[in-house]
Amino acid sequence: MTRITAWRRHPLARYAVLILALALVGMVYATFVQVSRPADAALASGKVDDVAEGRSLFAAHCSSCHGLNAQGTPTGPTLVGVGAAAVDFQMSTGRMPAANPSAQVPRKPLPEWVDEKAIRQIGAYVQSLGGGPQVPGKEHVDPKLGDAGKGGELFRANCIQCHNWAGAGGALTRGKYAPDLNNASPTQIYEAMVTGPQAMPVFNDSTITPEEKRNMIAYITQVREQKDPGGFGLGRIGPVTEGLVAWVVGIFALVLAAIWITAKKRQK
């Protein structure tokens, strides 16, 4: 007992206890993480077997840019922690696999091997690597369940600077641009908000709640059906095109008027 008491009073005893406690916490955390990864993958994909299939597809089609373990390379970022939602967004829009990496990867038709099953399997594999945002359920993206009026207020406060009021997109710096939202599905819009692809910031649930995201989706889809005053929206790009058209039409009208006036004087 004397030795134990002496050890407990030793100046280094408190540090030894702290190190031991940290080691125990680390072991417990690692155990829970390893247990939860298959559960996360199963929840994201619907089948735990999709993880193995997704790993094979990833090695064949994605590892050349993102690395065999999705750790990232000079030509592609790491995918650890991005979640199944990022995979679903990038692949369902045809942005990935990227044919020609550049400042902005455009939306394009899907390759022949990419379908819903392949996207789900690769998403399950990426989800198993470190968690992350998962593919939203139908109740989170259904425009009929959202309030377009409230969604419009949120959209104008957070998105109009890049995507313009109608979601028609716009130019950014260094060759980047905010894409047109007219071709995006409600699920893709939600996934873009929670994953922040390319130049877009991440709007997590603490910044914009799932209900508010659904309201914004309701607004974006409703704007597509609105009729443009005058019958011609000019691409809905905004006052730049409207001013250009007004200037060109106005100048052309003045030229015609000048020609008509001078021709009338010559006839006299």
pLDDT in tens, the chain (268 residues): 455 555 555 566 666 666 777 777 777 665 554 444 444 544 444 466 889 999 999 999 999 999 999 999 998 899 999 999 999 999 999 999 988 777 788 899 999 999 999 999 999 999 999 899 999 999 999 999 999 999 999 999 999 888 887 888 888 888 888 898 989 999 999 999 999 998 899 999 999 999 999 999 999 999 887 766 655 555 556 666 667 777 788 888 888 888 888 776 666 5
Q: How far is CA 37 from CA 14, 55, 59, 67, in A?
A: 35, 14, 19, 20
Q: How far apart are CA 211 and CA 205, in angstroms?
A: 9
Q: Which residue, among 237, 245, 228, has the nearest Cα to 170 in the 3D structure? A: 237
Q: Which residue, among 209, 57, 183, has the nearest Cα to 120 in the 3D structure? A: 57
At residue 199, the pLDDT reads 87
What is the 8-class DSSP label of residue 143? G
Q: How far is CA 212 from CA 85, 125, 150, 203, 217, in A?
A: 18, 29, 8, 11, 9
At residue 100, the pLDDT reads 78
At residue 99, the pLDDT reads 80
Run of H or E residues at 98: none
Compute φ and ψ for 165, nearest 5 degrees. Answer: -65, -30
Rounded to the nearest 10 degrees, the angle between the axes of helix 116-130 and helix 13-45 is 170
Phi-psi region of 142 (alpha: psi -120 to 50; beta: other; left: phi over 0): beta
Q: What is the pTM of this model?
A: 0.72
List the structure tokens of 157: 């406060």
At residue 96, the pLDDT reads 93
- In a 10 Å sphere around its CB, with 0-12 CB exposed, 13-18 middle and 19+ buried, how is residue 29 labelled? exposed
At residue 114, the pLDDT reads 94
Biggest distance spanned by C-alpha atoms of the chain: 129
Q: Helical H runs in the chain?
A: 2-8, 13-45, 49-61, 63-66, 83-92, 116-130, 138-141, 148-158, 160-163, 186-195, 210-223, 239-267
